[in-house]
Amino acid sequence: GIQVEQSPPDLILQEGANSTLRCNFSDSVNNLQWFHQNPWGQLINLFYIPSGTKQNGRLSATTVATERYSLLYISSSQTTDSGVYFCAISTGGGNKLTFGTGTQLKVEL
Partner 1 sequence: GAGVSQSPSNKVTEKGKDVELRCDPISGHTALYWYRQSLGQGLEFLIYFQGNSAPDKSGLPSDRFSAERTGGSVSTLTIQRTQQEDSAVYLCASSLSGTGPDTQYFGPGTRLTVL
Interface with partner 1 includes 83 (CB under 8 A)? no
The answer, yes or no, to whether the previous bond of 8 is cis (omega within 30 of 0) is yes
Contact window for partner 1 (CB under 8 A) among 12-20, 58-66, 71-79, 91-99: 91-99
Interface with partner 1 includes 11 (CB under 8 A)? no
Contact call for residues 73 and 20 (beta carbons, < 8 A): yes
Q: How far is the C-alpha of 61 from the C-alpha of 48, rounded, in Å?
A: 9
3-state secondary structure at position 95: coil
Q: Candidates 7, 24, 26, 31: give the one binding partner 1 (CB under 8 A).
A: 31
Interface with partner 1 includes 59 (CB under 8 A)? no
Q: How far is the C-alpha of 50 from the C-alpha of 31, rounded, in Å?
A: 5
Interface with partner 1 includes 24 (CB under 8 A)? no
Beta strand residue intervals within 15-58, DSSP E: 19-25, 31-37, 43-48, 52-56
Q: Candidates 19, 86, 91, 103: give the one binding partner 1 (CB under 8 A).
A: 86
- Judged by the rule CB under 8 A, the positions of this chain that interact with partner 1 are 30-31, 33, 35, 40-45, 48, 50, 86, 88, 93-99, 101-102
